[in-house]
Amino acid sequence: MCGIVGYLGDGNVYDILIKGLHRLEYRGYDSAGVALVGNDGKINIFKTKGKVSNLEAFCADKNLESKVGIAHTRWATHGEPSDTNAHPHFSEDGNIAIVHNGTIENYKLLKDALEQHGCKFHSETDTEVLAQLIEYIRVTNNCSLLSAVRQALHQVVGAYAIAVLEKNNPDTIIAARQSSPLVIGIGENEYFLASDASPFVEYTKSCVYLKDGEIAEIRRGEPLKITNLANEEAEIDVTKLEMSISQLEKGGYPHFMLKEIFEQPSTLRDCIRGRVVADGTHININGVNDNKEVFLNAKRIVIVACGTSWHAGLLGKYLLQDMCRIPVVVEYASEFRYSNPVITPDDVVIAISQSGETADTLAAIQIAKKAGAFVFGISNVVGSSIPRETYSGCYIHVGPEIGVASTKAFTGQVMVLTLLSLAIAQLRGTMDEETIAKVGKSILKIPSYVKKVLKLNEQIERLSLIFTYARNFLYLGRGYSYPVALEGALKLKEISYIHAEGYPAAEMKHGPIALIDQEMPTVIIAPQDHLYDKIVSNVQQVKARGGKIVAIVNEGDTVIRNLADHVLEVPEMPECLTPIITSIPLQLLSYYIAINKGKDVDMPRNLAKSVTVE
């Protein structure tokens, strides 16, 4: 994980880097640091444990003048979060400084070899090894920094996005990537680099996404030059950014998470736009239209994803099986990649990832491609690695998601999976036109229905007060509501640190029922679907054991209303669309419980939004 930023130009280097770090803090916040080449010709490194705000306080009385600098916000992998392990890292002679996002797998081997040559290490990080290795090569081979970086990267096994500064060469930054993201912003007489484009969106819309194995030479007053590890010149593909600055701000909300929950009527509208056409009677997904043969002939669909995206994937299984009558399996990408999976050219593999950068999901894609499967990506971040690595795909178009706990991206993913299933069903003729039109028309109403669900905000805020001190929660659902239960439990765990378990409601009696007592609230997702009567029995089973029940039901429900301690009513929708509607009260419930407990909802402890390590 980790976020890196760099700037070379005439602007205020420190301010640009700090603002950039704040934007990338979602990637990790164990420590933060900057390296600036000062007017005294030295590289000055300032770094502290904790968030970027700690770094700002630490730097308040420092001389920060500079024309070039690099910066880092860390999610610790090698070595505990501490001032010493914080990036940037120096080579021992202080000649070069480096920031790094990724993991150097063979760092121990390299470290032992360097120690034998007399190098002394100060931190426990893999990154310091890279700094020392580059400088060792530069001095031993008497070569340029660029050449030393290239030679060092030949020896490295692992993932990296790096930016390197040299004391004696203050008009240059060398940057490189392998498996971790890196994008270079090209302004007028200035360059930016960052893990994503958010740090420079207000300065320039022109950027270049570095590809795996590429090294960029960023030099003052000179055009950008990119070469690969074999020192061959690479093509420079300049992209225009679509992101806007207002999307990166809180817009009056106390937290990004709350803003993102409330954005869902408009993010879902953006996600649907152009895809539900002809008054709801036709579904138009370019990735399906362009690959009709693939979807007509698919024998099986394999979905790979991690975290919340995996929960969306599980819903994808219900949707695709239901609508397209294709067998579907859903795998955690981290398990899939090491499970010796059986994938054939008849499979379609769907990779789901908000960030488009999750290392395990990217690895799963490579395995699927090697096995000859058609790989389809569902992602949010335009230009990220997963859309580039897959053969076709679909963006969810929900705008940047900054809160570490995913909300609008989850509903966007579920929406895209619903549209994808409908489009494939339309193509394969597995659903009649009338049913497709019924669902299509309901999809067009989703933004206004979500708006209605958000009116539960105050009721949920009050309800949350009752449960602030609960130590365990159980979330139950059946059918389409089962993945919603998993996601509801995950949201609560992530931001309030309360233990919560999601379970298929009928499986409760095979274990979790033993936990039920007055102290443990059970959240039951029970819309009017074909399993409603079944879930009523499960509600009764919890009630009979004195459990406290919060139920998400449809408006006008009377049966569960009489059994549950608290009900939250949402509008009725066709069964396949209920997950989008029922997941929103659960997002709000976890938000308010975490707020009541005084937790940092946007940056929960130990988590990061973009997981670019295994």
CA 514 to chain centroid, in Å, comes to 35
CB half-sphere exposure, 66, CA atoms < 13 A:
29
Pull the structure tokens for residue 148: 């030393």
The reply on whether position 496 binds ligand G6P by CB under 6 A is: no
Please count the other Cβ atoms lying within 10 Å of the Cβ belonging to residue 92.
17
Nearest distance in Å: CB 20, ligand G6P: 20
Among residues 28, 199, 307, 377, the one that binds ligand G6P under rule CB under 6 A? 307
For 20-59, letters b (16+ CB in 10 Å) and e give bbbbbbbbbbbbbbbbbbbeeeebbbbbbbbbbebbbebb
Nearest distance in Å: CB 404, ligand G6P: 5
Residue 6 or 377: the one with the smaller Cβ distance to ligand G6P is: 377
Q: How many angstroms separate the Cα of 411 from the Cα of each of 348, 407, 418, 419?
A: 23, 7, 10, 12
Q: Among the candidate windows 63-71, 83-91, 234-242, 602-610, which touches ligand G6P by CB under 6 A?
A: 602-610
The reply on whether position 355 binds ligand G6P by CB under 6 A is: yes
Which residues from 406-425 bind ligand G6P, rule CB under 6 A?
406
Whether the CB-CB separation of 31 and 48 falls below 8 Å is answered with: yes
- Number of residues in contact with ligand G6P under rule CB under 6 A: 15
Instruction: Give 384's contacts (C-beta < 8 A, 6+ positions apart).
Output: 181, 196, 353, 355, 356, 357
Q: Among the candidate windows 7-15, 29-37, 178-186, 306-314, which touches ligand G6P by CB under 6 A?
A: 306-314
The reply on whether position 404 binds ligand G6P by CB under 6 A is: yes
Among residues 73, 309, 390, 578, the one that binds ligand G6P under rule CB under 6 A? 309
Among residues 85, 125, 361, 538, the one that binds ligand G6P under rule CB under 6 A? 361
The packing angle between helices 433-454 and 264-272, to 10°, is: 160
Residue 216 or 362: the one with the smaller Cβ distance to ligand G6P is: 362
Whether the CB-CB separation of 127 and 138 falls below 8 Å is answered with: no
DSSP state of 179: B
Whether the CB-CB separation of 129 and 104 falls below 8 Å is answered with: yes
Residue 87 or 609: the one with the smaller Cβ distance to ligand G6P is: 609
Residue 308 or 496: the one with the smaller Cβ distance to ligand G6P is: 308
DSSP string for 201-223? TTT-SEEEEPPTTEEEEEETTS-
120 catalytically annotated: no
The reply on whether position 607 binds ligand G6P by CB under 6 A is: yes
609 catalytically annotated: yes
φ, ψ of residue 595 in degrees (nearest 5): -65, -45
DSSP state of 41: S
3-state secondary structure 471-511: CEEEEEECCCHHHHHHHHHHHHHHHHCCEEEEEEHHHHHHC
Residue 127 or 406: the one with the smaller Cβ distance to ligand G6P is: 406
Q: Among the candidate windows 148-156, 348-356, 388-396, 552-560, which touches ligand G6P by CB under 6 A?
A: 348-356
Nearest distance in Å: CB 156, ligand G6P: 24
Which of the residues 47, 111, 548, 609 is marked catalytic?
Answer: 609
Nearest distance in Å: CB 380, ligand G6P: 8
Residue 357 or 529: the one with the smaller Cβ distance to ligand G6P is: 357
Q: Among the candidate windows 243-251, 303-311, 437-445, 547-555, which touches ligand G6P by CB under 6 A?
A: 303-311
The reply on whether position 612 binds ligand G6P by CB under 6 A is: no
The reply on whether position 291 binds ligand G6P by CB under 6 A is: no
Measured distance CA(196)–CA(74) in Å, rounded: 15
The reply on whether position 358 binds ligand G6P by CB under 6 A is: yes
- Continuous H helices in 527-569: 532-544, 559-563
The reply on whether position 495 binds ligand G6P by CB under 6 A is: no
What residues are annotated to the active site?
2, 609
Residue ranges binding ligand G6P (CB under 6 A)? 306-309, 353-355, 358, 361, 404, 406, 607, 609-611
